[in-house]
A and B are shown apart, each in its own frame.
Chain A
Amino acid sequence: MVTRAIKNEVTRRRFLKRGLLGGFLLATAGGLGLGLWPTRQDANPRRALKLLDERGFAILAAIAARTVRVPGADPIEIAHRVDETLSLGVPEARKDFTQLLLLFENALAGFVFDGRAKPFTRLSPEAQDAVLLSWRNSRVALRRGGYHALRKLTLAAHWSNPDHWAAVGYPGPPQIGRPT
């Protein structure tokens, strides 16, 4: 019922006025205990980060570990590549994405929307998948949009990497020869 009340109260336009996800944060991240539960930071960067801080990086790597379930997948490398791509984005988009990661992680928001009481990074793999599914199937269009942003950025970071092409039978670009 709490979620329905929030959904009804906060219209799409109000969300947008406050920035992509600012409305969610204002509505949910009120400094309460659940919202402050720390992120599990066991995904350490291998090189300098361009946009994210270490907490955001750890959240992103945890998401990548669930979205890209492929032999040889490397969530740390995926998180680096997403970080590097997003660092080229416009300032507002960069900010929206870092807020999206915090919201995705946030235990209070998770409690309100999904009934979970732990940060995303502290959930079991199965529970993490349930969170992704909850965002995918949400009645709130911006949560679905957030799911797709996380899904697409992590998948694209993995599959654009030539190291993984062979796994889907893609032989790579042809040799440039004489025009035919």
Chain B
Amino acid sequence: MKTNGFFDANEWRKPVEKYDVCIIGSGAGGAVVAAQLVAAGFSVIILEEGGHHTKAEFKMREDTAFPMLYQEAGTRATKDLGISILQGRAVGGTTVVNWTTSFRTPQSVLDHWRVVHGVGGFTKADLDPHWAAVEERLNIKQIPLEETNRNNRTLYDGCKALGLAVETTFRNTRNCFKSGYCGMGCPVDAKQSMLVTYLPDAVQKGAVVLSRCRVDRLIIEAGRVARAECRLLREDGYGESGRALTIEANRFILSAGAIGTPAVLIRSGLGEGFVGKRTFLHPVVGTAAIFKDPIEPYYGAPQSVCSHALADRGENVGLFLEAAPLHPMMASLATSGFGDEHHARMIKLPFTSAHIALAIDGFHPSEVGGTVEVRASGAPLLDYPLPPRIWDALREGLKTLIRIDLAAGAQEVYTPHDPPFVFKSEKDLARLDEAPMALNRVSVYSAHVMGGAKMGDDPKQSVVRSSDLRHHTVANLHVVDGSVFPTSLGVNPQESIYGLAHLMGARFAQDWKTG
């Protein structure tokens, strides 16, 4: 049993019959809106499927961190196994394991949502003060170039050599020790994740956070959510303990993430229309570049340089470029092949730079993204067969990364094909035009899950309305997380979720007090 408002659901005894607000999910959306609501005097309970883990348990080891902090113990993938999905699952959600990169939603994306998807409920001017408030609370600041590690510096140097626009990232950290282990939970609480910021803020003012509490379904009566039916999980965080819990509240907010939220809606009989549709992933491919001098891609701020030089490619799918940390397990996954061939490359780990290209999916009318389904057991499954235009973009992304790596001085660059294509100079780059870009021939990843319950003002074209993210037909149900995005973003998603949640939290506090 954790105290101070954080409880293991198995050990919690319900002190009140009914809460003002029940929030499902404690990540970037749920935590921020919870803090706003308790500050305004509402009684709030937050239900979280993952466990409540804190820095003492963050041992900077992949073998313990992935089962503890990631969905499906780190093995989540799309239905055809084509895309591996790194998504958090803990009190604090993905913010506990992300690499701290923080950007506001680009103006061009907000414009696209307004014009194409009928998102008229807020403007950039509405969001600006809320982003500013979040940046203040989470200490979001741009990292100076001299504090970037070599893995990121090679990306920077290569972009500069090619004349590509490049900058350092903004990060939500305070007194960062730059260990390099953001992805396994920050061992010193430097990362300003929800776990150490908005959740404690909310709890201090009376919010209750229940961990290991899986929301099975919402019970709808007379057009309203009457209660949430939950199943509690065992100590291992996965199996069900056999205990159940029912939570009643006046209002419900779904913040279970872009795969979890549609799944709850579907299990609750609310799966019609765009629910579970238009899921976007920023599909990622990466290169591994071998340098003469040590890179040590496992140490230092893992993601501190990015390039948006290719974000606008006209009719083609845009791309953005970043770096990824490599610890032994992730390195072994990112290295193609098996046996001796695999090992010959693994031993170059200290000299390896890993750079990634992320496709900005969902902006062309033909890009409908993925679909969330619910399996017989109730667990969600994302089906996302990548269309040819995204494969084309990923090929272009690889080509650009190879040029960047070589310009930065790499001796050889490996593609994520199996077997890999290897480049030692730019002159044979045309070989990549013949390389197969196809399902399970190239390793594709995602760490950004967006969409699946899109917002908009036409009930036929969206799931929630954009002014307050309220479900179009269920009066006391709102969705506050990345699932409301009608497309992907072209930047790492956390700050887009924070800003929108902060704006909506303020609106809820005002509307619900007076309403």
Contacts and interface: CB of A to CB of B under 8 A. Distances in A.
B399 to A, nearest CB: 23
A91 B151 CA distance: 38
Lowest 3 CB-CB distances: which A-B pairs, in order?
A: A173-B60, A145-B81, A144-B440
Interface stretch (B275-283, B324-332, B388-396, B499-507): B324-332
A164 B328 contact: yes
Contacts of B337: 151
B72 A160 contact: no
A152 interface: yes
A88 interface: yes
A69 interface: yes
Contacts of B187: 173, 176
A159 B331 contact: yes
6 contacts: A69-B342, A156-B333, A160-B329, A168-B350, A170-B349, A174-B299
Interface string B343-354: 100110110000
Counting chain B residues whose Cβ lies within 8 A of the other chain, the interface size class is 35 or more
A170 B299 CA distance: 10
Contact of A16 (B67, B74, B80, B328): B80
- Chain B at the A interface: SS class: loop
Interface stretch (B14-22, B44-52, B374-382, B484-492): B374-382
Contacts of B79: 16
A156 B329 contact: yes
Given A92-B375, A129-B339, A141-B438, A160 B81 contact: no
Contacts of B458: none
A70 B335 CA distance: 15
B343 A70 contact: yes
B350 A85 contact: no
A162 interface: yes
Contacts of B338: 66-69, 132, 151, 155
B349 A69 contact: no
A135 B157 CA distance: 39
A88 B238 contact: yes
Interface in A93-118: 93
Nearest to B351: A169
B339 A67 contact: yes
Interface in B131-175: 175
Given A91-B379, A160-B329, 7 more contacts: A16-B80, A69-B340, A69-B343, A91-B375, A141-B440, A147-B440, A156-B332
B377 A92 contact: yes
B411 interface: no
Contacts of A158: 332
Nearest to A94: B377
Contacts of A86: 73, 75
A136 interface: yes
A33 interface: no
B190 A179 contact: yes
Contact of B81 (A81, A148, A165, A167): A148
A119 B190 CA distance: 52
A179 B177 contact: yes
B75 A155 contact: no
Contacts of B412: none
B98 interface: no
Contacts of A165: 328
Interface string A126-149: 000100100010000110111111
A180 interface: yes
Contacts of B61: 160, 162, 173
Contacts of B439: 141, 144-145
Given A92-B379, A168-B328, A160 B63 contact: yes
Centre residue among A85, A155, A165 by max chain B CB count within 10 A? A155
A117 B503 CA distance: 64
A179 B176 CA distance: 6
B349 A176 contact: no
A14 interface: no
Interface string B71-108: 01111000111101000000000000000000000000
A26 interface: no
Given A93-B75, A155-B332, A144 B441 contact: yes
